[in-house]
Amino acid sequence: MTTEPTPTHLADLTAVQLTAGYAAGTFSPVEATRAVLERAEAAQARTNCFTRIAADEALAEAGKSAERWRSGTPAGLVDGVPVTVKDLLLTRGAPTLRGSRTVREEGATWDEDAPSVARLRESGAVFVGKTTTPEFGWKGVTDSPRHGVTGNPYDPERTAGGSSGGSAAAVALGAGPLSLGTDGGGSVRIPASFCGIFALKATYGRVPHYPASPFGTLAHVGPMTRDAADAALMMEVICGPDWRDWSQLGPVAGSFRAALDEPLAGLRVAFSPSLGWDVPVAGDVAAAVRRAVGALAELGAVVEEIDPGIADPVAAFHTLWFSGAARVVQHLGDAERELLDPGLREICEQGARYSALDYLAAVDTRMALGQAMGRFHSAYDLLVTPTEPITAFEAGAEVPKGSGHARWTGWTPFTYPFNMTQQPAATVPCGVDGAGLPIGVQLVGARHADALVLRAAHALYEAGAARIPAPPALAGPAAATSA
C-alpha cells in the first residue's frame, strides 16, 4: 500500500492486510474494529444481515488484541481480525437462534463455541456479531420468520442468497473481512456468488462441525471472505482438531497459504457450462464464466470443454434434505409447528413420509455419484461450472417469479451435487450482469484437494479475473425488512 489507510478505509482491508498493518504498527485492532462496526451498522440498515451486533464485546476483544500486538505476542494468525458468524453456529456469550421463533432465547445458557468458532477465538479473532440465516438453514435464500428478509448488497430489493446470506452481505459491505458460514446444498457458494465474494465448501470433515447437523454429512462449515488468500488464512485456523466431531479428517498436510503461489501450468481443467443437463444459463453468466475459464488457460492450465457425465441427483438430495428437516422439527408440537416458515413446514411433512428404504436408496445414489466423480477426477484436476445459472432475484421469494420451480433446488442445480459427493468447491466472482449484479464461477476439486481449489482461485484473483465493482455506497433507507 502506498498510503496509510485512515480508519474509515480499514473496513475495506482483507485479513491479510489487517494483520500486516498490525505487525507494522500502522494501525491497531481497535481502529479496525471501530471501522468495521460502523460498516456493520450501515450494512444492517441496508440489508438486514445481522441478528446481533456485539459492539462492546468486540471493542473489548480488540483492545486485548492491540496489547498483544504491542508486546509482539499475537495469539494466532487472525489476532485482531473482525469476524462474523452465521447464526447456526454456537458462539459463547451470544444466542444462536437459527432464524426460528421456536428457539427460546430466554433461560438458555450460551456458553459453548462451535469448533470453528473456538479455533478463531483461540487465534485472537474479534467477533463482531451473528449473521442471518433462513430458519434452520433450510433454503437457498435468506429470510426467516424470526429475523425477516436479508437483501443483496448490490440491490437490497434482490436476495442475498442463502442460507449464509447474512454472512455474504456482511463481508461484501465491509462488516468484517472473515465470516463463518455453513453449506448443506450450496449455502456458502450461493450467497457468495450473488453478493460478489469468495467462499469455499471444503472437503467434508476438513473443518470440524459440532453439534452434528441434522442434515448429516451433507452439511459443511466454510470460510466466506474477500478473496482466496483470506480463505487460505482462515482455513489454517478453523481446520484445527476438535474431539466433538467424530467424523473430522486427520491433520492437514502442508499449508494452505504456501500452496497459493504454486503455478497452474499443466493443471487439467474440465469446463462444463451446464454439467451436461438441460439447464438454461443466463447469457451474461455464461459469458463471464467462459472468460474466467479463458483466464485459467492463459495461466497455463490445460482446459477441455467436457461434461462429467453425471445425472442430476435432485430427487435423492431431496430425500436426504427433507428427511433432515423433518428431524430438526421432530420435537415440536402442533402449536410450535405453526410458527415455522410455511415452506419449511411443507418439506418437513414430506420428509416425514420417507421410509428407511427411501433414505437408503438416496444413499445409494449418492455413493454412485461420488464414485463417478472420483473416476472423473482421475483425468481432470478441476471441474469448472457456473456457480449459479442466474444472478440474484427478488428478495423474500424462495424461487424466481415465473420460473416454474417448486423449491430452491430448481434454480441452483450446480451446487448441491457436490455436497452429495463431499468434494471441495469454491465460488469466485468473475463479472457482473447488465444490472450490475455479481456472477460467480465454481471451481470443484477431488476430495481432499482443498489446497488446489484455493490455488486456482487465488490465481484468478492475482490475474485480475476475479475483481468486480464494489457494492454501491452505504447510504439511503433500507430496502430489506425485519420481522
Catalytically active residues are: 86, 163, 187
Residue with cell 497455463: 300
d(CA 285, CA 287): 5
Of 149, 173, 176, give the one whose Cα is nearest residue 162.
149
Contact 10, 27 (CB under 8 A): yes
Residue with cell 433454503: 139
